[in-house]
């Protein structure tokens, strides 16, 4: 984050934050919240296979990533 302050371009800062937040959703070990969620579901007898999780996570994360990039693009156009 400190390295991006030197650049001065807010689009790079937003792109960096976007990658950090969405990138961890592609794998179940990417975020602690996902691991805790899967463990608590397993306690109640709900098992989610890893392939199904990866498939759904990729689909939803790809849509969110696309919408966020489009929003970032339009915000950069209108900020200039």
What does the DSSP assignment read for 20-56?
A: HHHHTTSSTTS-HHHHHHHHHHHHTT----HHHHHHH
Per-residue pLDDT of 8-67, as tens digits, reads 566 677 777 777 777 667 666 667 777 788 889 999 999 988 888 888 888 888 888 888
The pTM (predicted TM-score) of the whole model is 0.61
Q: How far is the CA of 57 from the CAs of 17, 38, 47, 51, 80, in angstroms? A: 19, 13, 16, 10, 34
């Amino acid at each position: 984050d400190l390295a991006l302050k030197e650049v001065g371009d807010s689009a790079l800062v937003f792109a960096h934050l976007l990658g950090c937040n969405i990138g961890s959703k592609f794998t179940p070990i990417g975020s602690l919240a996902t691991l805790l969620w899967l463990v608590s579901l397993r306690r109640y007898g709900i098992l989610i296979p890893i392939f199904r999780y990866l498939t759904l996570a990729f689909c939803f994360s790809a849509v969110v990533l696309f919408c966020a990039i489009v929003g970032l693009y339009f915000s950069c156009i209108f900020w200039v």
